Amino acid sequence: MSYELKLAAPLAAFFGLFFILPLLILLYVSLQADTAMTSMAVSQFTRFLFDPFSLSVLAHTLFLGVEVTALCLILGFPLAWAYVRGPAWAQPILIVVVLLPLLTSVVVRTFAWIVILGRQGIVNSALLSLGLTDTPLRLLYTEGGVVVALAQVQMPLMVLPLITALSRIDRNLDDASAALGAGAWRGFWRVTVPLSLPGILAGCMLTYAAAITAFITQSLVGGGQMLFMPMYIYQQATALQNWPFAAAISIVFLAAVLAVVSVFNVLGRLSKAHAEA
Amino acid sequence: MKPTRRGLMTGALTLAAMQTFPRLSHAQARRLVFATFTGSWEEAHKDVLVPAFRKATNAEMVLDPMLSVDQIAKVKASMSNPPIDVMLHDPGPALVAIDQGLVESYPVADSKHYADLISEAQVATGPAPFFQVVGMTYNPDKVKTPPSSWKDLWKPEFKSRVGITNLNSTLGTGFLVEIARMHGGSESNVDAGFQAIKDLKPNIAAVAANPGQLATLYQQGQVDIGPGNFNAIQILKARGVPVEFVIPKEGAIAFKTTIHIVKNSPNKELAFKLIEAALSPEVQEKLMNSPYLIVPTNAKVKMTGEIAKVLAGSVEELKKKFVFQDWKTINTQRSAWIERFNREIA
């Protein structure tokens, strides 16, 4: 064994013991026929995969991730752009703005959103006093509310990779594309976006994975009426003590997330090849 | 000896390990561990029950507050050497713990206080040291006429103002059963209850994920009326939130919270003594008074103060006003109901 591998051994052992082993136990539990856990069967998986309701929860959760990721990208790209291309004095301010959400706990940020979106929250009182609405709008416990809150909570995960990717682009390329007759938009779409694709994909992957598994924000802003996969697992595991089904849901969810992540990976490799070509 | 790098490293690692896994250093004679509920229950037990236990036994004990489901998970994960000696459960989880063989039956014959308990609190698998009560909660600033019946929740004036919880909690499940009963159903047939919740939908402002969240919704003005736990409401009231609690004319939904000796506990004798202290009239009387306001189960405790005013002044009145539901029947169908709630209400 080389010296480098030996140095990584403690971490590998840690992962083996506290990540791989529990994952195998999870798989074992998911293959139990019932809660007594005495006989093995795949019935938990067939129960999930042939149940339209369970599948709709999965689809709903995966789509929530798409919405949050899209919103993060739309709002995050200009922010990263402003950081990279803006004046030097603005950079420290912007990096604080980007990092600030990371410095407070997710729970605190989520509670802040509850206060903002509530019936007597900032948004509703502003709308009421401007006379734009007569009765408070329902913002909390709606999917829109969950998407906005999650987008804010996960924003740094999108912006930081974007900043890295954008700052690596040689600015002479802008001038080159302008000199060759491309307008600002054409230059942006044909030069900047393709070159920043690795950053976009990394940001999307991180945001997506974080958004669909964000148990706290989903349940606090979404309330007890909206069911996403993390809450579904929690409900089965703790409220119903049905560990085999909860384990099976977890495995299905893990597989679904891995599938999405590998799509991003493939896209990432393609974009790299494209950028280097 | 000159300190070597290796020696220092080993020492540091040992210290770190002892810090991370304190149980390693005193794994043997472990102190009695009581898994109470979090929040106000923990505070009440720390202030009253723990000192009473110390006085009676001269032994030390630890409170390890956690949810019922977590208590079950922890004991189940290590049944031969459980990390908890005494568990506290709502009726649903209590039945799960009993079914899975996690509890010792209570040595009723040796108990000094068991016979004094109100009949509903006498449970051989683990007696009830207190009752929890669910009635109607409302914001008196916004709801001028206090509600008097569960039926009031369906009134058009409460459009988008009612708050309920889903069936993950004892409160949500108890509420469903109660309104099913009101519409001619029962614990074994809650169809009418589901229909009533569907009819309630225009009035529902929020389905909270848990009772704790439901309570905070009153604070934020998100909801103005709904079912609520007596003790949770008292905490809000003490913080100056405008909330009031009333018992509807159909009666209050009452749960017995039961206390259990864990099977294979190494501290069975002390566990028994702790439970005896929890059942004693002295402890229950202290817990009944402000600020704890915990409903006593020992018939020797004379009900006074806020409890007498809002809930019941005597055992007879309590028996008349409290509706105890049949959780054995409820538990067999609970998972089906949760699924149904997911599908029909969510």
pLDDT for B130 = 95
pLDDT for A193 = 87
- Pick among B100, B168, B175 to test the A interface (most A CBs inside 10 A): B168
Which one of B96, B221, B339 has the shortest CB-CB distance to A241?
A: B96
Residue of A nearest to B97 (CA): A241
Could you tell me the pLDDT band of residue B146, with boundaries at 50, 70 and 90? Answer: very high
Residue B284, pLDDT above cutoff 90? yes
Task: Give Cβ neighbours of residue B337 (< 8 Å, ≥ 6 apart).
Answer: B167, B173, B176, B190
| Contact criterion met (CB < 8 Å) for A240 and B334 | yes
Q: Report yes or no: A38 at the B interface, CB cutoff 8 Å.
A: no
Spatial CA neighbour of A139 closest among B200, B196, B205: B205
Which strand (E) or helix (H) includes residue A206? helix A193-212
Residue of A nearest to B346 (CA): A225
* Two tokens, residue B138: 């409302």
Among the ranges given (A56-65, B50-59, B72-81, B139-148), the one the predictor scored with the smallest mean pLDDT: B72-81
Residue of B nearest to A231 (CA): B209
**Closest approach of A241 to chain B, Cα-based (Å):** 8
pLDDT for B11 = 66
| Contact criterion met (CB < 8 Å) for B69 and A118 | no
pLDDT for B26 = 47
Residue of A nearest to B161 (CA): A119
pLDDT for A186 = 86
**Closest approach of B314 to chain A, Cα-based (Å):** 34
Within a 13 Å sphere around the CA of A145, how many CA atoms are in the beta-carbon half? Answer: 27
Instruction: State the virtual CA torsion across B259, B263, B265, B271 in degrees, nearest 10.
Output: 30
The pTM assigned to this predicted structure is 0.81
Which strand (E) or helix (H) includes residue B253? strand B252-262
Task: Give Cβ neighbours of residue B174 (< 8 Å, ≥ 6 apart).
Answer: B134, B253, B255, B325
pLDDT for B38 = 83
pLDDT for B25 = 46
Spatial CA neighbour of B119 closest among B329, B318, B328, B327: B318
DSSP 8-state symbol, B27? -
- Pick among A114, A240, A242 to test the B interface (most B CBs inside 10 A): A240
Task: Give Cβ neighbours of residue B203 (< 8 Å, ≥ 6 apart).
Answer: B153, B154, B155, B156, B158, B159, B160, B161, B162
Task: Give Cβ neighbours of residue A121 (< 8 Å, ≥ 6 apart).
Answer: A114, A115, A139, A140, B220
For B3-12, what is the mean pLDDT? 66
Could you tell me the pLDDT band of residue A226, with boundaries at 50, 70 and 90? Answer: confident
Which residue is listed with tokens 């049905």?
A242
Q: Determine the Cα–Cα distance for residues A43 and B298; give it in Å rounded to an integer.
A: 48
Residue of B nearest to A124 (CA): B222
Among the ranges given (A36-40, A151-155, A233-237), the one the predictor scored with the smallest mean pLDDT: A36-40
Q: Determine the Cα–Cα distance for residues A20 and A156; give it in Å rounded to an integer.
A: 28
Which one of A121, A223, A240 has the shortest CB-CB distance to B338?
A: A240
Q: Give me the amino acid identity at A234.
A: Y
Q: Report yes or no: A179 at the B interface, CB cutoff 8 Å.
A: no
Q: Give me the amino acid identity at A83.
A: Y
Residues in chain A with CB shorter than 8 Å from the CB of B213 are 220, 223-224
Q: Report yes or no: A114 at the B interface, CB cutoff 8 Å.
A: yes
What pLDDT digit, counting tens, does each position of B15-54 carry?
A: 666 565 555 444 456 899 999 998 788 999 999 999 999 9
pLDDT for A228 = 94
**Closest approach of A226 to chain B, Cα-based (Å):** 6
Cβ density class A65-91: b for 16+ within 10 Å, e for less: bebbbebbbeebbebbbebbeeeeeee
* C-beta of residue B222 within 8 angstroms of C-beta of residue B214: no
55-74 in chain A: CB under 8 A from chain B: 57
* C-beta of residue B174 within 8 angstroms of C-beta of residue B323: no
Q: Tell me how far CA of residue B278 lies from CA of A199, B11, B52, B274, B275, in angstroms.
A: 60, 44, 9, 6, 5
Domain boundaries, chain A: 58-276
pLDDT for A276 = 62
- Pick among B214, B220, B241 to test the A interface (most A CBs inside 10 A): B220
Spatial CA neighbour of A249 closest among A261, A263, A231: A231
3-class DSSP state of B124: coil
Residue A36, pLDDT above cutoff 90? no
Spatial CA neighbour of B90 closest among B194, B229, B271: B229
| Contact criterion met (CB < 8 Å) for A227 and B346 | yes
For B185-206, what is the mean pLDDT? 94
- CA A99: distance to chain centroid? 17
- More confident position, B64 or A184: B64
For B65-79, what is the mean pLDDT? 88
Mean pLDDT for chain B? 90
Q: Report yes or no: A129 at the B interface, CB cutoff 8 Å.
A: no
* Two tokens, residue B100: 């899975």
3-state secondary structure A231-242: HHHHHHHHHCCC
Which one of B222, B338, B346 has the shortest CB-CB distance to A239?
A: B338
* B140 prior amide bond cis, ω within 30: no
Q: Report yes or no: A105 at the B interface, CB cutoff 8 Å.
A: no
* C-beta of residue B298 within 8 angstroms of C-beta of residue B286: no
Could you tell me the pLDDT band of residue B339, with boundaries at 50, 70 and 90? Answer: confident
| Contact criterion met (CB < 8 Å) for A235 and B168 | yes
Q: Determine the Cα–Cα distance for residues A60 and A56; give it in Å rounded to an integer.
A: 6
| Contact criterion met (CB < 8 Å) for A240 and B210 | no
- Classify domain A58-276 at the CATH topology level: MetI-like fold (1.10.3720)
Spatial CA neighbour of B290 closest among B309, B274, B276, B273: B309
- Pick among B100, B166, B344 to test the A interface (most A CBs inside 10 A): B166
Ordered domains of chain B (ranges, CATH): 29-131+255-311 (3.40.190.10), 133-254+326-344 (3.40.190.10)
Residue A142, pLDDT above cutoff 70? yes
3-class DSSP state of B339: helix
| Contact criterion met (CB < 8 Å) for B220 and A120 | yes
Q: Determine the Cα–Cα distance for residues B243 and B225; give it in Å rounded to an integer.
A: 9
Residue A1, pLDDT above cutoff 60? no
Residue of A nearest to B173 (CA): A239
Q: Determine the Cα–Cα distance for residues B41 and B108; give it in Å rounded to an integer.
A: 25
| Contact criterion met (CB < 8 Å) for A225 and B222 | no
Q: Report yes or no: A151 at the B interface, CB cutoff 8 Å.
A: no
Q: Tell me how far CA of residue A181 lies from CA of A69, A192, B133, B228, in angstroms.
A: 34, 15, 77, 69
What pLDDT digit, counting tens, does each position of B198-231 carry?
A: 999 999 988 987 888 888 889 888 899 999 999 9
Which one of A138, A140, A223 has the shortest CB-CB distance to B209?
A: A223
- Pick among A25, A141, A234 to test the B interface (most B CBs inside 10 A): A141
Q: List the beta bridge partners of residue B134.
A: B229, B253
* Two tokens, residue A203: 């940001």
pLDDT for B18 = 58
Q: How many residues does chain B have?
A: 346
Q: Determine the Cα–Cα distance for residues B171 and B228; give it in Å rounded to an integer.
A: 8
Residues in chain A with CB shorter than 8 Å from the CB of B70 are 238
3-class DSSP state of B44: helix
| Contact criterion met (CB < 8 Å) for A240 and B207 | no
pLDDT for A190 = 85
Residue A104, pLDDT above cutoff 80? yes
**Closest approach of B150 to chain A, Cα-based (Å):** 21
- CA B108: distance to chain centroid? 23
Could you tell me the pLDDT band of residue A179, with boundaries at 50, 70 and 90? Answer: confident
DSSP 8-state symbol, B186? B
Q: Report yes or no: A164 at the B interface, CB cutoff 8 Å.
A: no
Residues in chain B with CB shorter than 8 Å from the CB of A120 are 220-222
Residues in chain B with CB shorter than 8 Å from the CB of A242 are 335
Q: Report yes or no: A252 at the B interface, CB cutoff 8 Å.
A: no
Residue of B nearest to A53 (CA): B343
Q: List the beta bridge partners of residue B260.
A: B87
Q: Report yes or no: A47 at the B interface, CB cutoff 8 Å.
A: no
